[in-house]
């Protein structure tokens, strides 16, 4: 980042929705790329982590540069003067999205997201919910109008993933693209094959 003497920083939020693996993979890739990660995890997310990945909190936290307690509203990431590239919430529950959209900042995850929005930095929400009712859609519209990007983790079948891990990795890579971070090794779209166009 111009005018700073530290590596790029990205806030990673993990809420209690299904899909804790997205946050985990983001931390792993960002660590490999030398990006300083600031992790904040909701209480319910730790339950999801154990259920889906059989992982202890300490194992996840070891992947981050800095770990913040979700109740610590005095943390560095609660202030706009603390420079970051923005915040990725992966996965993002409807509850977390709704708190951010309403300006409720009782926890650090919603406070950090609010700071990112007010500072006009990038906020990406990997929303995990389906099907969606009208209240969800209206909240998504509201938070999009505020400047956030809603990015449901939709698989890209054109990349022909052979494993679930490849599918997750590609989705995380696309999310990091939104921050100008190229994790490398992605099977990006190369256009339709010539023989398909001729049919």
Q: Are the CB atoms for 93 and 125 separated by under 8 Å? A: no
Give the chain's mean pLDDT: 93
Banded pLDDT at 138 (limits 50, 70, 90): very high
Question: What is the distance between the alpha carbons of residues 18 and 78, in angstroms, rounded to a whole number?
Answer: 25
Give the pLDDT mean for 27-41. 97
Q: Are the CB atoms for 168 and 18 separated by under 8 Å? A: no
**3 state DSSP class of 41:** strand
Q: What is the pLDDT of residues 44-55, one digit of tens each?
A: 999 999 999 999
Looking at residue 2, its pLDDT comes to 45
Q: What is the pLDDT of residues 78-101, one digit of tens each?
A: 999 999 999 999 999 999 999 999
Q: What is the CATH number of domain 9-197?
A: 3.40.50.1950
Question: What is the distance between the alpha carbons of residues 172 and 73, in angstroms, rounded to a whole number?
Answer: 27
**3 state DSSP class of 8:** coil
Give the pLDDT mean for 130-146. 97
């Amino acid at each position: 980042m111009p005018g700073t003497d530290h590596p790029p920083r990205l806030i990673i939020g993990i809420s209690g929705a299904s899909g804790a693996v997205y946050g985990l993979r983001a931390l792993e890739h960002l660590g490999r790329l030398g990006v300083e990660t600031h992790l904040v995890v909701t209480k319910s997310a730790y339950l999801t982590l154990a259920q889906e990945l059989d992982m202890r909190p300490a194992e996840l936290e070891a992947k981050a540069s800095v770990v913040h307690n979700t109740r610590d509203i005095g943390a560095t990431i609660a202030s706009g003067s603390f420079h970051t590239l923005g915040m990725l919430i992966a996965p993002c529950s409807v509850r977390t999205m709704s708190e951010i959209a309403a300006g409720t900042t009782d926890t650090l995850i919603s406070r950090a997201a609010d700071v990112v929005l007010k500072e006009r930095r990038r906020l990406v929400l990997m929303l995990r919910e389906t099907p969606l009712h009208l209240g969800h859609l209206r909240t998504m519209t509201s938070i999009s109008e505020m400047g956030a990007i809603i990015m449901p983790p939709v698989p890209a079948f054109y990349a022909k993933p052979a494993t679930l891990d490849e599918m997750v990795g590609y989705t995380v890579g696309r999310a990091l693209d939104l921050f100008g971070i190229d994790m490398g090794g992605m099977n990006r779209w190369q256009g339709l094959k010539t023989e398909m166009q001729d049919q």
